Every structure is written in C-alpha cells, then in structure tokens.
C-alpha cells in the first residue's frame, strides 16, 4: 500500500486532485487494515473537500472516524476539522464553529502546535463567513504567528491568503494586497499551482474592490486558467463570480451574465449555498441595472425589472434558510435601496468598505 499512498500524496502535492482522488479510492477498496482504511478515507475526504465534493467528503470523514476513534485521537480530531470545513461550505457555519472550537481545545491540550495553528486558521475563515470579521482577523493573526514560529511554509502561505481576504473585507486594501502578494511569491517558490491561482484571484479581488476593475481582470484570467488546468470547482467558481462582478461594474452585462452562469453551475454542483446567493444576486443586479437604463424602451426596462425581482426572490429564499449573516444583509441591500443598512453594518464591524448605490461591488 505504501506505493499507492506515495502516488496519491505526490498527485495531491502537485494539485492533481482528480488523480489523487482516484488513487485514494483504490486504496479504500484494496486496504485490509483499519490504519490503511483510516488514512485513505481521510486523504480521500480532504481531496474531495478541496474539489467541492462536499457531501461525499463529509460522508468519508465520518467513515474515517469509525476506524480511528480508538486508534488515533489526533487523526480523529483532524477528521472532525475536515468535516467542519465541508459543513461550512454547504451552509452550516454554526455547526462548523462548534466542531472547530472543540478541535482547537484538543490540540491545545495535546500541545500540538501544528494542529492548533490549523484550527486557528479554519476558525478565522469561518468567523469571517459568519460575519464576525474582528474575531476572524484575531484568529488568523494567531495562526500566522504560530505557523511562522514553526517555520511552516505552506501554513504561512495559506494564512497570508486568508489575511488578504479578511483585510479586503475590512476595506484595508493596501494591507490586503501586501498579504496576497506575499502569498503569491511563496506559492510560486513552492510551485503550488492551486495556491498560485488562489493568490491571483485574491489580487484581482483587491483591485476590484478598490475600484480598479480593468486592472483586476488579468489576475482573474491567470487564476481561471490555472483552476481550469487542475480541475478545481470551488475556488474556480468564486473566481468566475468575481469576473462577472467586474464586468458588471464595467457595464459589460453580456460577459458578466456568462461568468455568473458558469459560476452558478459549479455552485449548484458543489452545493455551495453562499456561492449560489451571490450568483443569484449577480443575475438580479444585472437586470435591475438594465431596468434603470434610459437607453432601452420602457417595455424592455419593465421586463428587466420583473426578471430582476424573480432572481432576487430566489436569492432571498436561499439566504433566509442559511446561517450566513453578511449574505442576508447583501440580499436586503439590493432591494428597496437598503444599501445604507449594509454600509452601517460594515462600519460596525470595523470595515472601511461602504457600499452606497447600485451597482454594488460586493466583497
């Protein structure tokens, strides 16, 4: 089995996640010991989570737990961590936070600094998605400090990306750009294809939110090419959504619509509730912008308004069932001119990002 594990790990490190998934599934079929089953299922679940097979990933994490519950408490906690990250992606951030806090307590008790740093990193991203950006920033800064002390290049690189993301949400674009550039430099040194794409998308997002829309597109195009090459579905979908938003801000509605459609297909496939809310809002806003245009005949503008209402209602239904605080605010902001409410909430969270009118340059 050792040669198969080595083959899977090599593919995974090369961002060939589809190939790694096939090998891990082969190991699961062929392995006869609890240790091999546990290790293969954990590897399979991790790769599936990265690829956006969230439901399958959650099932394999639970299967792995049955083999390692007694054998290895550390691996047991690793499985619970992975499950929490997958649960976060399918719209269950509250459950994810609960599991991640338990994992952090365990790692601290075991004096496992590597696990502790990973837990802080995961909590940081989850707090951010849950709307608590101040707590998210604190967790990520703690993770960064530990990873640096451990001289962990991968941990530092991905935490740089996460810090870039949260500083962008806070409207601190200069700091965000510094972290994304540092992440990109480190990822290129390590030849981490996924990480390079991730950091390029981040650099594009900084430019977009700062209002430099044309400068954002080359970064997105680089990320799109790399994500397409490795078969990613999760971060690739958000890159497509970002491209759509950028074209929307430039008033180029046809390419914006096309990018939103491609993103929406992937979000449906992965079950990413948060992503779906954003693409539906993208569709709605494009129609509202068309409805507001005085260059089109009145009947066309009225049809666009009706279509915009229909897309907005879909977004609201999903948002109302979800636990994503910011996305609910975004839905409310898009309808009936409630942008001021959203701006005030960002201000309360310590953010300098203040949306004021359509089109809204969503984070």
Return the domain boundaries, the chain.
1-90, 233-363
Within 13 Å, how many C-alpha atoms sit on residue 151's CB side?
A: 0
Within 13 Å, how many C-alpha atoms sit on residue 360's CB side?
A: 27
- How much is the average pLDDT of 297-307? 93
As a whole number of angstroms, the distance between CA 100 and CA 68 comes to 18
Greater confidence, 359 or 216? 216
Q: What is the pLDDT of residues 343-361, one digit of tens each?
A: 888 888 889 888 878 898 9
The highest-level CATH class for domain 1-90 is mainly alpha
Whole-number pLDDT of residue 231: 84
> Residue 187's closest CA among 162, 160, 212, 157?
157
Q: Which of 71-75, 155-159, 264-268 has the lowest mean pLDDT?
A: 71-75
Q: How many helices (H) and strands (E) does the chain have?
A: 18, 0
Neighbour tally for 57: CB within 10 Å: 25
Whole-number pLDDT of residue 71: 62
Q: Which of 79-93, 152-166, 296-310, 326-340 has the lowest mean pLDDT?
A: 326-340
As a whole number of angstroms, the distance between CA 337 and CA 335 comes to 6
Q: What is the pLDDT of residues 66-107, one digit of tens each?
A: 888 656 778 889 899 999 999 998 889 999 999 999 999 999
Whole-number pLDDT of residue 323: 83
Whole-number pLDDT of residue 59: 96
pTM: 0.90
Whole-number pLDDT of residue 336: 65
Q: Which of 71-75, 121-125, 256-260, 329-333 has the lowest mean pLDDT?
A: 71-75
Does 220 score more than 60 pLDDT? Answer: yes
- Report how far apart, in Å, the C-alpha atoms of 318 and of each of 246, 305, 323 are: 24, 20, 10
> Residue 47's closest CA among 87, 91, 15, 95?
15
Greater confidence, 356 or 200? 200
């Amino acid at each position: 089995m050792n040669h198969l594990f080595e083959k899977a790990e090599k593919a995974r490190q090369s961002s060939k996640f589809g190939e790694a998934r096939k090998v891990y599934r082969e190991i699961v079929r062929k392995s006869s010991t609890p240790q091999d089953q546990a290790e293969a299922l954990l590897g399979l679940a991790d790769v599936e989570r990265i690829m956006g097979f969230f439901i399958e990933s959650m099932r394999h994490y639970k299967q792995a737990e049955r083999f390692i519950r007694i054998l290895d408490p550390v691996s047991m906690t690793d499985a619970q961590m992975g499950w929490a990250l997958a649960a976060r992606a399918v719209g269950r951030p509250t459950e994810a936070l609960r599991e991640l806090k338990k994992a952090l307590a365990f790692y601290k008790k075991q004096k496992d600094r590597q696990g502790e740093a990973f837990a802080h990193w995961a909590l940081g991203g989850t707090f951010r998605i849950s709307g608590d950006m101040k707590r998210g920033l604190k967790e990520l800064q703690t993770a960064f400090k530990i990873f640096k002390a451990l001289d962990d290049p991968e941990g530092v690189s991905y935490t740089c990306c996460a810090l870039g993301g949260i500083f962008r949400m806070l409207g601190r674009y200069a700091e965000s750009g510094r972290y994304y550039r540092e992440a990109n430099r480190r990822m290129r040194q390590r030849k981490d294809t996924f990480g390079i794409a991730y950091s390029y998308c981040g650099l594009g997002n900084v430019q977009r939110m700062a209002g430099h829309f044309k400068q954002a597109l080359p970064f997105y195009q680089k990320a799109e090419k790399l994500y397409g090459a490795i078969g990613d579905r999760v971060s690739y979908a958000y890159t497509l959504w970002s491209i759509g938003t950028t074209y929307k801000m430039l008033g180029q509605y046809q390419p914006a619509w096309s990018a939103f459609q491609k993103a929406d297909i992937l979000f449906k496939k992965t079950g990413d509730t948060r992503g779906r809310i954003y693409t539906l809002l993208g569709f709605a806003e494009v129609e509202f912008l068309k409805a507001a245009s005085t260059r089109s005949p009145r009947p066309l503008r009225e049809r666009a308004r009706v279509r915009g209402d229909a897309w907005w209602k879909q977004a609201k239904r999903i948002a109302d069932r979800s636990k994503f605080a910011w996305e609910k605010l975004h839905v409310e902001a898009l309808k009936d001119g409630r942008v001021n409410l959203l701006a005030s909430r960002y201000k309360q969270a310590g953010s300098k990002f203040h949306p004021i009118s359509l089109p809204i340059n969503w984070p």
